[in-house]
Amino acid sequence: MESLIKQWDGESVIIRYDRVADAWIFIAIHSTALGPSAGGTRMKPYPHLREALEDALRLSGGMTLKWAAAGNNYGGGKGVIAVPDSLDSQGRSDLLRRYGTFVHQYNGIFFTGPDYGTSSEDMDIIAETGDPYIFGRTKAAGGSGNPGPYTALGVLTSIQVVAEQVFGTSNLEGKKVLVQGVGSVGRGLTTLLRETGAEILISDVDPSLTQYLSDEFGLESIPSDEAYDRPCDIFAPCAVGAILNKETIPRLRCRAVAGAANNQLGTPGDADLLRERDILYAPDFIANCGGAMAIIGMEVQGWSHKEAEEKLVHAIKSNLSQVFQMTKADGCSTDEAGKRIAERRLSGA
């Protein structure tokens, strides 16, 4: 764990052991250059504690790039709560309240909201003690609700922009889009894709999730270990990170990658592998910023639901077209180009 922190380029990590629930809490503050750190709180059991810390460190770094590229004055942060498998519902709610107290103690150096394993309803509970540092509460409690649909809209926009680059048209009719992971965001993406006339393939490690979509909408489901090999036009990773790596990239049979998962590249060099294979990659921290932008837009900047949609679509189109221009002009990878856009803002801070 020491070596993870030594190698990390962020600012601070806050660690707490919650004795009552036997849970570990990591809050990684990657950067406060543009403003207070902000990012969702992920809650799940981890086989090894090291992986929980690793998630917090990596994901908070992604948030720094996301906020900077999106033009928001926040820095990268992420909360991770590593819980035991045995945690029951009452124990979970009590832990969330203690987590709120913990976040509150830091007086706004870290703002948080929903992420993998936490919901808007959970944010209502955390906010009982953590207010005013909790975003994404339910609409009934005065928050902006589940950010998933906004993230999905941003990913759809990214898919349309990469289609335009690769096929000369953003019209997805008849285009094969493979959605890897049909949890909250992936499933929302399939709903939006159905309206475009795209041919949708789905894949998930949890067969109950794909079964529902296959039964209800006739979507073709691919076994999860075959997702990389299946020919498609656009591959949309909406599950776990690090799935674009030296094992999977040679197997891909798509023209472009655009999805919602955080930290999709195994290493930054994997963006070059994609470029060498002529697969156009929409940098994850640009493609998946819709939820983050909408949360801040609606809760801090006073945007309506409609304004949030319009502004996130506009920001993603504009950032991706800059990225693709930069890669054409100087041959860098799209990931590198996206990072330059973010770093330009960070260095001007």
- Residues designated catalytic: 78
Question: Smallest distance from the beta carbon of 138 to ligand PPY, in angstroms?
Answer: 14
Q: How far apart are the first and last CA of the chain?
A: 31
- Tokens at 106, concatenated: 């830091």
115 in contact with ligand PPY (CB under 6 A)? yes
From candidates 8, 11, 39, 43, binder to ligand PPY by CB under 6 A: 39
**DSSP class per residue in 46-101:** -SSHHHHHHHHHHHHHHHHHHHHHHT-S-EEEEEEEE--TT--HHHHHHHHHHHHH
145 in contact with ligand PPY (CB under 6 A)? no
CA 271 to chain centre: 18
With contacts defined by CB under 6 A, name the span among 38-46, 212-220, 232-240, 300-308 that binds ligand PPY. Answer: 38-46
3-state secondary structure of 285: helix
CA distance 160 to 234: 10
Of 21 and 76, the one with the shorter C-beta distance to ligand PPY is 76
- Tokens at 289, concatenated: 């910023």
Pairing of strands 199-203, 176-180: parallel
Question: Smallest distance from the beta carbon of 276 to ligand PPY, in angstroms?
Answer: 29
130 in contact with ligand PPY (CB under 6 A)? no
Residue given tokens 């493609």 in the structure block:
287
CB-count exposure of residue 119 (10 Å: 0-12, 13-18, 19+):
middle
Residues in binding contact with ligand PPY, number by CB under 6 A = 15
With contacts defined by CB under 6 A, name the span among 7-15, 107-115, 168-176, 266-274 that binds ligand PPY. Answer: 107-115
262 in contact with ligand PPY (CB under 6 A)? yes
181 in contact with ligand PPY (CB under 6 A)? no
283 in contact with ligand PPY (CB under 6 A)? no
Q: Name the phi and psi angles at 83, rounded to 5.
A: -105, 155
- 207 preceded by cis ω (within 30°)? no
Question: Smallest distance from the beta carbon of 287 to ligand PPY, in angstroms?
Answer: 11
113 in contact with ligand PPY (CB under 6 A)? yes
CA distance 296 to 300: 5
3-state secondary structure of 245: coil
With contacts defined by CB under 6 A, name the span among 81-89, 152-160, 242-250, 288-296 that binds ligand PPY. Answer: 288-296
3-state secondary structure of 182: coil
Rg, C-alpha atoms of the chain: 19
148 in contact with ligand PPY (CB under 6 A)? no
100 in contact with ligand PPY (CB under 6 A)? no
292 in contact with ligand PPY (CB under 6 A)? yes
User: Residue 61, Cβ neighbours under 10 Å: how many?
Assistant: 21
Of 66 and 230, the one with the shorter C-beta distance to ligand PPY is 66
Query: Contacts with ligand PPY in 185-244 (CB under 6 A)?
Result: none
Of 184 and 262, the one with the shorter C-beta distance to ligand PPY is 262
26 in contact with ligand PPY (CB under 6 A)? no
Question: Smallest distance from the beta carbon of 173 to ligand PPY, in angstroms?
Answer: 30
Q: Are 283 and 162 in contact (CB under 8 A)?
A: no
- Tokens at 255, concatenated: 């023209």
CA distance 268 to 180: 21
3-state secondary structure of 335: helix
From candidates 109, 185, 257, 295, binder to ligand PPY by CB under 6 A: 295
State the residue number with the nearest CB to ligand PPY.
113
With contacts defined by CB under 6 A, name the span among 6-14, 22-30, 109-117, 237-245 that binds ligand PPY. Answer: 109-117
40 in contact with ligand PPY (CB under 6 A)? yes
291 in contact with ligand PPY (CB under 6 A)? yes
Question: Smallest distance from the beta carbon of 266 to ligand PPY, in angstroms?
Answer: 19
What does the binding site for ligand PPY look like in residue numbers (CB under 6 A)?
38-40, 63, 66, 112-115, 135-136, 262, 291-292, 295
